[in-house]
Amino acid sequence: MRRTLFLVLALAVACAGKPQLHFAWDKAASFSNLKTWAWYDDPNFKLPGGSSIVDGQFVDQRVRAAVAANMAKQGLVKADGKADIYISYATRPDGVVSQDKFGSYYWWSYTVVAGTKHQKQGTLTLDIRDANDKLIWRASKMAILGTNPEALGRNIDDAVADLLSKFPPPPGAEAQ
């Protein structure tokens, strides 16, 4: 009995620190023949909040560079004008709430920045819209944040890569 209780407790502790990834998309949207992307010009966009480690511009520049690198890996070219898809991101709750909702599959938790002085966690949410500005894909990752600029930068790069590894969704795939 004690051994079983210990194993259950050990499993719960191991799962508690695992990053939380969530993905959802419009099942009616077409993700085929995508060639170009651009940043979505959200009138409600606010620069990410700074911290004792970095300022909001650091986060903004790192997210934008990671998105550009990952889109290039997928063969999508950044457009200056009209594009096949438009990308935006949020690191705080009001940035996600200001976006269109997916209706029945707007189910993941809001953006969180929480923790102790030793460990902080945050959420990065990426939104992708079609050429008509309709929200067609959303992904969110919550993870422990780095404790120095280099570690935080790697965490941002990893989060963007994890999220965009699920884009575009394969036909018949299910949301997580």
Averaged pLDDT for residues 13-25:
65
Q: Which domain holds residue 90?
A: 19-164
103 in a structural domain:
yes
Mean pLDDT within 106-114? 40
The number of domains in the chain is: 1
pLDDT at 110 over 50: no
Strands 114-115 and 85-90: unpaired
> Taking the C-alpha atoms of 35, 36, 42 and 46 in order, what is their torsion angle to the nearest 10 degrees?
110
In a domain, 88, yes or no: yes
pLDDT > 80? residue 11: no
